[in-house]
């Protein structure tokens, strides 16, 4: 099955949460849910806010290789399952201008001070490879040239 980055973006808009997996200091894999607020314009990078004190920040500082997992529905009447696993590299961004550019309505639920919240960190996951399962069909998409 062939799928474009634009097709992935469309499917991801229906999924509110991804599981972000990192490598922990002791060699384990740690996963946690991260919201994309369904405001996705996926072009190969995913963006998430967190706090500087979160374990995932120190995990990413030690090893930026991460995985994002998504689960949703697709197909006629939304009956078929859709799964997506994105391998990528995470960057930690502390630039307030970037916070403003990626801030979406609803984030103030977690950070009432908005982009000016002390200790706020923006995580950019630059996707390298996406493996998807759409019902019984599956495929792989290399994202390096996605933009």
DSSP class of 60: H
Q: What is the pLDDT along the chain (147 residues), one digit of tens a residue?
A: 678 888 888 888 888 899 999 999 888 999 999 987 666 678 889 999 999 999 999 999 999 999 999 998 765 565 678 899 999 999 999 999 999 999 988 899 999 999 999 999 999 999 999 999 987 788 999 986 554
β pairing state of 120-134 and 137-142: antiparallel
Q: Nearest 5°: phi and psi at 101?
A: -65, -25
Instruction: Tell me how crowded residue 131 is: count the other CB atoms within 10 A of its CB.
Output: 13
Which token pair is 14?
């229906």
What pTM value is reported for the model? 0.89
**What does the alpha-carbon distance between residue 109 and residue 120 come to, in Å, rounded to a whole number?**
14
- Residue 147 has a CB neighbour count (10 Å cut-off) of 8
pLDDT on residue 40: 67
**Domain 5-142 belongs to what topology?**
Pnp Oxidase; Chain A (2.30.110)
């Amino acid at each position: 099955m062939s799928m474009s980055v634009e097709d992935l973006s469309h499917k991801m808009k229906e999924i509110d949460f991804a599981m972000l997996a990192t490598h922990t200091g002791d060699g384990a894999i740690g996963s946690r849910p991260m919201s994309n607020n369904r405001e996705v314009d996926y072009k190969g990078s995913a963006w998430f806010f967190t706090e500087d004190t979160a374990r995932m920040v120190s995990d990413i500082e030690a090893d930026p290789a991460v995985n994002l997992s998504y689960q949703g529905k697709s197909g006629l009447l939304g009956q078929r399952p859709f799964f997506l696993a994105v391998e990528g590299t995470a960057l930690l961004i502390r630039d307030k201008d970037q916070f403003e550019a990626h801030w979406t309505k609803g984030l103030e639920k977690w950070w009432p001070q908005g982009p000016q919240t002390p200790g706020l960190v923006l995580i950019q996951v630059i996707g390298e490879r996406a493996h998807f399962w759409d019902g019984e069909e599956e495929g792989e998409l290399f994202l390096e040239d996605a933009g």
